[in-house]
């Protein structure tokens, strides 16, 4: 299990500022990324390895999740 204490979370620039769809991302020391819902900061966290993150970002850019 990865210890997320002390990581710096930043809100996605694409998050909705109206209290709706808010996502936060943290860069982890090993190059992985953590993603969480900013409205449920104690809730579940998605973890992405560097290759998984690159694939996810590429998929977003290509509209695969629209």
Q: Is residue 2 part of a domain?
A: no
pTM above 0.85, yes or no: no
Q: What percent of the chain has pLDDT over 70?
A: 86
Note whether residue 4 is domain-resident. Answer: no
Q: Residue 56 — very low, low, confident or very high, per pLDDT cuts 50/70/90?
A: very high
Residue 20 lies in domain? 9-61
Q: How far apart are CA 55 and CA 40, in angstroms?
A: 25
Q: Is the dihedral of CA 36, 26, 24, 64 positive or negative?
A: negative
> How many domains, the chain?
1
Is 51 inside any structural domain? yes
Contact 36, 45 (CB under 8 A): yes
Q: Is residue 66 part of a domain?
A: no
pLDDT exceeds cutoff 90 at 47: yes
pLDDT band for 15, please (50, 70, 90 cuts).
low
């Amino acid at each position: 299990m990865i210890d997320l204490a002390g990581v710096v979370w930043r809100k996605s620039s694409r998050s909705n500022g109206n209290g709706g769809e808010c996502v936060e991302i943290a860069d982890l020391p090993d190059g992985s990324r953590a993603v969480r819902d900013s409205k449920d900061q104690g809730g579940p966290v998605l973890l992405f390895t560097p290759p998984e993150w690159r694939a996810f970002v590429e998929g977003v850019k290509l509209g695969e999740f629209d």
